[in-house]
Structure 1
Amino acid sequence: MKRIVIPVLSLFLLGCGNDTLPKPKGYLRLEYPKAVYENAIIPLPFSFEKNKIADPIKSVKSTKNTKGININYPSLKATIYLTYKDVNNNIDSLLRDAQNLTQKHTIKADAISHNSFENSESKVYGMLYEIDGDAASQSQFYVTDSTKHFLSGSLYFYAKPNYDSIYPAAEYLEKDIKRIMETVRWKD
């Protein structure tokens, strides 16, 4: 028995001359078209610029004080949902609702960072929340003039949340969200 085991064991030890090395990480390289922006044509009391790769905007819901539109990106399988509300001495509750909506994603989020936004010349003030991890939404934001207008938005993908897979598209669309915030102009 020893005569068989020792030679077989020797073959295993001698056959492993090279050290094994881990493979380097591979990253998926996705290229998106350079963003070209145009004025969004919408029947609401504000205007903004949208990326041309998005479908034409259609109103989706409307009540007395709330109006909604969706910015669909079929090639990225994503939608930015915008909700406009009139401010009627309720700015505190509107801000609280927008912040609470973002906080609901903390269950699945690895991190939530926020960046404030201010354009005093156009009276547009707001906050952008970036959500890292397998949360349902990767970005949430709101802008307001604090007296008449309040606009909130959320980015959602038509896929099960997998942060590693949707990260490139989320990063691309975050630039569009920032452009929306920067170009919002209230119509009075």
Structure 2
Amino acid sequence: MKYFSGLILLIVLIACKEDYGLKPVGHVRLEYPEAIYQNFDSDCNYTFEFSNQSKPMQKGKEACWYVLHYPGMKANIYITYFPVNGKEDLAMKIKDSEKVVHEQTVKASYISPREFIFDEKKVYGTLFELGGESAINMQFHATDSTKNLISGSVYFSTPPKYDSLQPAINHIKKDVIHLIETLKWK
């Protein structure tokens, strides 16, 4: 009986220890402050409003190509400007912009297009949102349909894990929509 009591006491003592095993990796909840928008003005043929959470930088040596860098999110919006020489040239440039989207169909679980038409400002465009583990999260283009076209892409400098990036994607999506809605041609 002494042996049995000792065994029960030993089992109870061992069972009461804390578990120091490895815990599964969790994801941090991402919340971002409301954006304050400011005017982007340059010598380019366009202007728009961008978030104060991003920093505009010249992209390479090309005139009117910019990056809106979000250091707090490890994200970038790449903006590329193209002068347009006629309807055929415009159609080809839009096709090239959309080709980037369609190349992502291997990894994207869905592609959701949204059209923008602002006749009073002569701004016409499409925003493509890509879901899943695509390298590009958003792609857009906007034009005046005669002389100007801008194309843009949203990239994150992290592995494409859609679920964990979703709050940041939604936050930047608001900024991209605001950029398109405030776009003006000079």
Query: Could you say what secondary structure the match of 2:68 adopts?
Result: strand
TM-score if structure 2 supplies the norm length?
A: 0.81
Matching residue of 2:168: 169
1:8-36 superposed Cα distances (whole Å, 9 cap, x missing partner): xxxxxxxxxxxxxxxxxx98532100111
Q: TM-score, normalised by structure 1?
A: 0.81
Paired residue for 1:182? 181
Tell me the SS of whatever aligns to 2:102.
Answer: helix
Gaps of 5+ in 1: 1-25
Cα distance in 1 between the residues matched to 2:143 and 2:41:
20
Residue aligning to 1:41: 41
Counterparts of residues 145-160 of structure 1 (less than 5 Å): 145-160=144-159
Distance 2:148 2:129 in 1: 23
Deviations 1:87-131 (A, max 9, x none): 012011011101111111111000001010010000000000000
Deviation of 1:54 after TM superposition, in Å, equals 0.8
The answer (yes or no) to whether the contact 1:61–1:67 under 8 Å persists in 2 is: no
Give the 3-state SS of the residue equivalent to 1:176 in structure 2: helix
Alpha-carbon distance in 2 for matches of 1:105, 1:81: 17
Q: Which blocks of at least 5 consecutive residues in structure 2 are unaligned?
A: 1-25
Q: Is contact 2:78–2:152 with CA below 8 Å preserved after alignment?
A: yes
Matches for 1:30-179 after TM superposition, within 5 Å: 30-55=30-55, 57-63=56-62, 67-89=64-86, 90-179=89-178
**C-alpha separation in 1, matches of 2:165 and 2:150:** 25
Q: 2:5 is matched with which residue? A: none
- Displacement after TM superposition at 1:43 (Å): 2.8
Instruction: Please report how far the alpha carbon of residue 67 of structure 1 lies from its aligned counterpart in structure 2 after TM superposition.
Output: 3.6
Code of the residue aligned with 1:47 in structure 2: it is: T
Q: Percent identity?
A: 38
For residues 27 and 82 of structure 2, the distance between their equivalents in structure 1, rounded to whole angstroms, comes to 41
Task: Report SS of the residue matched to 1:121.
Answer: helix
